[in-house]
Each structure stands twice: as structure tokens, then as C-alpha cells.
């Protein structure tokens, strides 16, 4: 069975961290709109320059830009056996557009995994986050350090960075913007009978175990 999956949760809930395990297990591509925007910003493409104005303020990039990117990405051949969306949709309009894309491309969602975390702990998660420059693997100063200090577990790289939008002022706005949309999105997928919620305030390994149970039951 195909695995057309969506990982949802507030910024810092652990989507990127859990995505690393899921895509490895199922051999499906990880489609993170945030990663796509950051790559475009680095390359300074017209889309990247436009997205940066919003991202720097912790606001959402407009729906038309974001939906266009996802539709193009879902058309690519590597999504044949499934995909893992991360960070999209973030608005009801995006969720509705995704339903239309799923119909049109015959790639409708099979399940939505909602990583549920108390917003109060997210600021600490985001301010401690650091990322490998070469492969994008995510770490945390306290909760997930590389096994060998200064060396990425995944690719052996030695250079890391912190996201500029993880600074406390931007984080506050990102959380506010995302909190407003979270409940309507949860309701949307609950009504479609696609929603599975995991407790995201457990440690990383226990969250992974809960997600794996859900995915195994889908087989
Ligand atoms: P998201 O992709 O949802 O924004 P990340 O996966 O990047 O979130 O996680 C945010 C930060 O919190 C990272 O530094 C990550 O290492 C850390 N983290 C992720 N899951 C947990 C967890 N269950 N407990 C503690 N820290 C976590
Ligand atoms: P993320 O990496 O998912 O935390 O996203 C980083 C930033 O990219 C967000 O704060 C938004 O500005 C932008 N972004 C990512 N995904 C979306 C989306 N689905 N809709 C609008 N903006 C997005």
C-alpha cells in the first residue's frame, strides 16, 4: 500500500526529527515546505526572495506560492510509492487545495499524524535547535546531541547552524500564527477520519515508537 502521509504539529513539535525515521523506514521523500523555502532563499531565486520577507517575520508565505510548490513537488516521480509532507498544509485553504491535488494526481492522503505538544515547551525546543549544514539533520543542545561532539551522526559533517527564525522574538510570532490555524486543521482531518494524534512531549524515542505503531496499523 502507498504511504501518503502528513506530519503536522506546531513549530518545534518534532516533525523534522520524526520525519528522518519515517522516510528511512518507507523509502519515501520528505517534503518540507520550510526546507524548500530555505533552499530557495539560499539560492536567492525569485521565489526565495519573496518567501524570505515572510519567513524573517515569522509569518506564513501566501497560500498560492506555497500550494504551487507542493503541487509541482508531488508531480515528481519519486512520490510514486508515497510521500511525507511536513509543515504543509498550515491553513485551511492549503488543506483544501491539497485534497484537490490528491484527487487530480491520484495521491490522496492515507493518514495524518499530529504531534501534539504543549506550546509552553516549544520556545525551549526551538532556541536549542541546531542543524547540520551538509545534510540538514536536526539536533538539540540538551535533548539530542550528536553522539560525537561536533560531528553529525548522519553524514559526518562538522558545520552546524541555527535558524534565524528560531530567535525568541520570531518564535513568538511563529507560534501565535500557527496556533491560530492548528485547531481548524485538526478538525478538518478529524472529519476526514485521517487524524492520528501522538503525545509529542515524550522523549524522541517514545514519540517514534508511537508513530511506528500507527504506521504499522495502516499496512
Ligand atoms: P519541527 O520540525 O516540528 O519544527 P524539530 O524536529 O526541528 O521540530 O524539533 C525541534 C527541536 O526540538 C530540535 O532541536 C529537536 O532536536 C528537538 N526535539 C524534537 N523532538 C523532541 C522531543 N520529543 N523531546 C525533546 N526535544 C525534541
Ligand atoms: P518550518 O521549517 O516548517 O518551521 O517553516 C519555516 C517557515 O517557512 C514558516 O515560519 C513559514 O514562514 C514558512 N512556511 C513553511 N511552510 C509553510 C506553509 N505550509 N505555509 C506558509 N508558510 C510556510
pLDDT, tens only, 174-205: 999 999 999 999 999 999 999 999 999 999 99
Cα-Cα-Cα-Cα dihedral sign, residues 35, 160, 24, 14: negative
Q: Please, which pLDDT band fits residue 169 given cuts at 50, 70 and 90?
A: confident
- Residue 200 in domain: yes
pLDDT tens across 57-92, in order? Answer: 999 999 999 999 999 999 999 999 999 999 999 999
Mutation pick for ligand 1 pocket among 138, 153, 200 (CB with most ligand atoms within 8 Å): 138
- Residue 131 in domain: no
- Residue 139 in domain: no
| pLDDT computed for residue 2 by the predictor | 76
Residue list, ligand 2 pocket, CB within 6 Å: 11, 33-34, 37, 54-55, 58-61, 66, 87-90, 94, 165, 174
Please count the residues of the chain.
Answer: 219
| pLDDT computed for residue 25 by the predictor | 93
| pLDDT computed for residue 40 by the predictor | 96
| pLDDT computed for residue 115 by the predictor | 98
pLDDT above 90 (res 4): yes
- Residue 18 in domain: yes
Using CB atoms within 10 Å of the CB of residue 125, give its burial: 0 to 12 exposed, 13 to 18 middle, 19+ buried.
Answer: buried
pLDDT tens across 84-128, in order? Answer: 999 999 999 999 999 999 999 999 999 999 999 999 999 999 999
Helix (H, G, I), strand (E, B) or coil at 88: coil
Compute the distance from residue 14 Cα to the ligand 1 centre, in Å.
4
- Residue 98 in domain: yes
| pLDDT computed for residue 179 by the predictor | 94
- Residue 20 in domain: yes
- Residue of 3, 38, 90, 125 marked active site: 90
- Residue 75 in domain: yes
User: Which backbone phi and psi does 141 adopt, to 5 degrees?
Assistant: -55, -35
Q: Are strands 3-8 and 82-86 parallel, antiparallel or unpaired?
A: parallel
Helices and strands per DSSP (H, E), number in the chain: 8, 8
Contacts of 74 (CB under 8 A, 6+ apart): 31, 83, 101, 105, 107
Which triple of cell numbers denotes residue 146?
550528536
Work out how many domains the chain is built from and give that number: 1
| Residue nearest atom 12 of ligand 1, based on CA coordinates | 125
- Residue 160 in domain: no
Task: With beta carbons less than 8 A apart as the criterion, state whether 126 and 12 touch.
Answer: yes
CATH of the domain at 111: 3.40.50.300
Q: Please, which pLDDT band fits residue 219 given cuts at 50, 70 and 90?
A: confident
Using CB atoms within 10 Å of the CB of residue 184, give its burial: 0 to 12 exposed, 13 to 18 middle, 19+ buried.
Answer: exposed
Domain that holds residue 60: 3-118+169-217
pTM above 0.85, yes or no: yes
Q: d(Cα 77, Cα 73) in Å, to the nearest integer?
A: 9
Pick from 146, 144, 145: nearest CA to 204: 144
Q: Please, which pLDDT band fits residue 168 given cuts at 50, 70 and 90?
A: confident
Amino acid at each position: 500500500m502507498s504511504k501518503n502521509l502528513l506530519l503536522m504539529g506546531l513549530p518545534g513539535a518534532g516533525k523534522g526529527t520524526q520525519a528522518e525515521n519515517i522516510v528511512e523506514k518507507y523509502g519515501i521523500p520528505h517534503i518540507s515546505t520550510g526546507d524548500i523555502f530555505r533552499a530557495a532563499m539560499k539560492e536567492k531565486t525569485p521565489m526565495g526572495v519573496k518567501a524570505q520577507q515572510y519567513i524573517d517575520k515569522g509569518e506564513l508565505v501566501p497560500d498560492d506560492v506555497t500550494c504551487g510548490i507542493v503541487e509541482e513537488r508531488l508531480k515528481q516521480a519519486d512520490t510514486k510509492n508515497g510521500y511525507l509532507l511536513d509543515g504543509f498544509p498550515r491553513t485551511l485553504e492549503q488543506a483544501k487545495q491539497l485534497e484537490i491535488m490528491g484527487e487530480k494526481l491520484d495521491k490522496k492522503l492515507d493518514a495524518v499524524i499530529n504531534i501534539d505538544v504543549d506550546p509552553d515547551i516549544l520556545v525551549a525546543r526551538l532556541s536549542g535547535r541546531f542543524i547540520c549544514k551538509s545534510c540538514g539533520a536536526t539536533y538539540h543542545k540538551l535533548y539530542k546531541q550528536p553522539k560525537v561532539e561536533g560531528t553529525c551522526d548522519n553524514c559526518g559533517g562538522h558545520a552546524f547552524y541555527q535558524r534565524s527564525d528560531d530567535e525568541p522574538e520570531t518564535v513568538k510570532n511563529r507560534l501565535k500564527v500557527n496556533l491560530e490555524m492548528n485547531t481548524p486543521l485538526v478538525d478538518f482531518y478529524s472529519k476526514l477520519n485521517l487524524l492520528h494524534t501522538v503525545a509529542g512531549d515524550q522523549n524522541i524515542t517514545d514519540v517514534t515508537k508511537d508513530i511506528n505503531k500507527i504506521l504499522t496499523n495502516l499496512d
